Structure 1
Amino acid sequence: MSEPVRVDKWMWAVRLFKTRGLAAKACETGRVKVGERLLKAASDLRGGELLDLPFPEGPGTRTVRVLGLIDKRVGVPEARAACEEITPSGVTEQRKIWSESRALRLIGDQGRPTKKNRRQIEDQKRGFFE
């Protein structure tokens, strides 16, 4: 049986977070859970557990199943083999809407949005929060 791995190391190794520091920060804020139990960065992770964790950017919580324990950053194929994304489709749809509305806000270097852009942003926000 393989040895347990620190939660922050695993989340970084399977590329759920860009840096190990961001993974540790997510744990510190109390947003990483296994069931109802909050995890600290140094908590041991075991195979088969279901993790609820925040997306690195934006709203929502993703659910990931631990399939393999790795503590070194590896290539994408190996990283995908170590975890299984089981986030509900509703959360995925909300993330898509959020990212599209964010992209609309970041269009061009014009600074303040035009009236047309403002209307598009408001339409996106209404769809996201309803």
Structure 2
Amino acid sequence: MESVRIDKWLWAARFFKTRALAKKAIEGGKVEYNGARVKTSKHVEPGALIKVPQGWEFWEVEVLAVTDQRRGAPEARALYRETPHSQARREREAENRRLANRSVMAPRGRPDKKQRRELQRFQRQRPDE
């Protein structure tokens, strides 16, 4: 297979759970193909550079193989290679998120009766008082 539509390739490479989600991301301008926005009808070719959002992260991958069939994850990973710059950026951002979450104190549970009344009293107060 020489070329396939980008929405099918993103689905087959397991970046998106469904083709509809892949199409929505492409139409929303979140996916870049060789540095430019694309349409869902764009055909993917080996050697192309694609930027793809996935959750909190952005992947920058080089296309190694083209297929329109969705297979297992190990086979899907063989369709692309992540750039070293992208991999370093994702690891750095994950570490930053992890450190930011450490500083946030999680609530201990639901407020008791006294705490609930204090919250209600606080919410009723007007800013000009």
Alignment partner, residue 109 of structure 2:
110
* AA of the residue aligned to 2:50: L
Alignment partner, residue 80 of structure 1:
77
Query: Per the alignment, do residues 36 and 101 of structure 1 end up closer, same or farther by CA in structure 2, a change over 3 Å counting?
Result: same
Q: What count of residue pairs does the alignment treat as equivalent? A: 108
Alignment of 1:1-130 (within 5 A): 2-55=1-54, 57-58=55-56, 60-86=57-83, 87-98=86-97, 110=109
**TM-score, scaled relative to structure 1:** 0.68
**Structure 1: gaps spanning 5 or more residues:** 113-130
Query: Per the alignment, do residues 102 and 52 of structure 1 end up closer, same or farther by CA in structure 2, a change over 3 Å counting?
Result: same
**TM-score, scaled relative to structure 2:** 0.69
Alpha-carbon deviation of 1:73?
0.7
Alpha-carbon deviation of 1:101?
5.3
**Structure 2: gaps spanning 5 or more residues:** 112-129
Alpha-carbon deviation of 1:75?
1.2
* AA of the residue aligned to 2:45: R
CA deviation map 1:71-95 (0-9, x unaligned): 0110122111111122240233203
State the identity %. Answer: 33
**Cα separation, 2, equivalents of 1:89 and 1:4:** 29
Quote the RMSD (CA, aligned, Å): 2.7
Alpha-carbon deviation of 1:110?
3.4
